[in-house]
């Protein structure tokens, strides 16, 4: 037997939906229909992310449970991964002018070097975080490593002039880790992101080797007009710089000299020389609550 109250609720919901739809402008639906026809075909973001995550699984057995493949099986699975990327490119209308076969071959030919650089990132995070017990732990669990690894895959695609896919990958990493790295940013080896939540690295940022960044750091741009989009808007961070939590560094002319330390909550819009230490000195007042009683 159907509960009368529940049945009334269903009728009410359906009737409300009918009224709302009935009252909507017909031109609105026509505009949506026309927009559908304009949108170029792109595979679902999940399929693109799954391809990249599977590639990381092949590159890093640490990410898997009981990996057991012989060399022939590994070759077969990399070939399948390569075919998947080719299929994604073939389905992406924004890539119509690309030579999909050449792009795919060049990307996979570059994987050994990309893999080497990713392992330097894992090593940097392990060495830079006293809480890390092994590179296995870093690769398997650290959001900083996942965000950097997906950035490196996305950047390699962007260097090959693949449109759209690089940004989809880094935004996927952003959604999973809270770390926002533009795929066009240039980042050197042994890059360490500690904790990572809230880190933002902009499109034209340039980061050297052995740089360590803590949570909440922004390497951003000053507010500029849209026509300046193709200019350098984000800072350059030279080698062996440490940037502590909450620091904000802005501007395309801003260069942080090598071997410098940027303290927490610092706001910088101008360059500093190598071997500098920059810190924010807040006004802190300590009240003895015992004396008040």
- Cα torsion 58, 60, 64, 66: sign: positive
Sheet holding 261-262, edge to edge: 192-194, 212-214, 242-243, 261-262, 277-278
Contacts of 29 by beta carbon, 8 Å cutoff, 6+ apart: none
User: How confident is the model at residue 42, as a pLDDT?
Assistant: 83
Asked whether 256 and 262 are in contact (CB, 8 A), the reply is: yes
Planar angle of CA 108, 110, 114, nearest 5 degrees = 110
Give the architecture (CATH level 2) of 198-293. 3 Solenoid (2.160)
Query: What is the token pair recorded at 232?
Result: 């350098």
- Cα torsion 111, 138, 134, 155: sign: positive
CA proximity to 195, closest of 108, 132, 120, 260 = 132
What pTM does this model have?
0.85
Q: pLDDT truncated to tens, each residue of the chain (293 aa)?
A: 455 555 555 555 555 555 555 566 788 878 887 777 776 678 999 999 999 999 999 999 999 887 777 899 999 999 999 999 999 999 988 777 779 999 999 999 999 999 999 999 999 999 999 999 999 999 999 999 999 999 999 999 999 999 999 999 999 999 999 999 999 999 999 999 999 999 999 999 999 999 999 999 999 998 766 556 667 899 999 999 999 999 999 999 999 999 999 999 999 999 999 999 999 887 778 888 876 66
The alpha carbon of residue 219 and the mean position of all alpha carbons in its chain are separated, in whole angstroms, by 14
What's the rounded Cα separation, in Å, for the pair 82 and 48? 13
Asked whether 42 and 93 are in contact (CB, 8 A), the reply is: yes
What's the rounded Cα separation, in Å, for the pair 253 and 234? 8
The CATH code of the domain at 42-179 is 1.10.3130.10
At residue 217, what are phi and psi to the nearest 5 degrees?
A: -80, 140
Segments making up each domain of the chain, as ranges? 42-179, 198-293
């Amino acid at each position: 037997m159907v509960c009368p109250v529940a049945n009334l609720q269903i009728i009410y919901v359906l009737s409300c939906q009918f009224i709302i739809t009935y009252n909507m402008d017909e031109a609105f639906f026509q505009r949506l229909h026309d927009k559908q026809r304009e949108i170029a075909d792109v595979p679902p973001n999940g399929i693109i992310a799954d391809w990249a995550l599977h590639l990381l699984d092949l590159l890093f057995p640490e990410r898997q449970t009981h990996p057991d493949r012989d060399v022939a099986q590994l070759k077969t699975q990399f070939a399948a991964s390569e075919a998947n990327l080719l299929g994604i490119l073939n389905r992406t209308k924004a890539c119509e002018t690309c030579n999909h076969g050449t792009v795919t071959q060049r990307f996979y030919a570059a994987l050994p070097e990309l893999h080497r650089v990713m392992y330097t990132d894992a090593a940097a995070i392990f060495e830079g975080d006293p809480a890390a017990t092994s590179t296995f732990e870093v690769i398997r669990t650290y959001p900083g490593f996942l965000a950097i690894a997906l950035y490196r895959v996305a950047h390699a695609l962007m260097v090959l002039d693949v449109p759209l896919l690089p940004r989809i990958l880094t935004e996927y990493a952003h959604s999973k880790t809270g770390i926002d790295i533009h795929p066009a940013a240039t980042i050197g080896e042994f890059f360490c992101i500690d904790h990572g939540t809230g880190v933002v690295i902009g499109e034209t940022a340039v980061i050297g080797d052995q740089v360590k960044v803590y949570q909440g750091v922004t390497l951003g741009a000053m507010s500029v007009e849209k026509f300046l989009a193709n200019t350098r808007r984000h800072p350059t961070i030279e080698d062996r710089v440490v940037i502590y939590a909450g620091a904000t560094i802005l501007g395309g002319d801003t260069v942080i000299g090598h071997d410098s330390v940027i303290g927490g909550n610092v706001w910088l819009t101008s360059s500093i020389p190598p071997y500098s230490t920059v810190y924010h000195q807040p006004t802190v007042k300590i009240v003895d609550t015992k004396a008040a009683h």
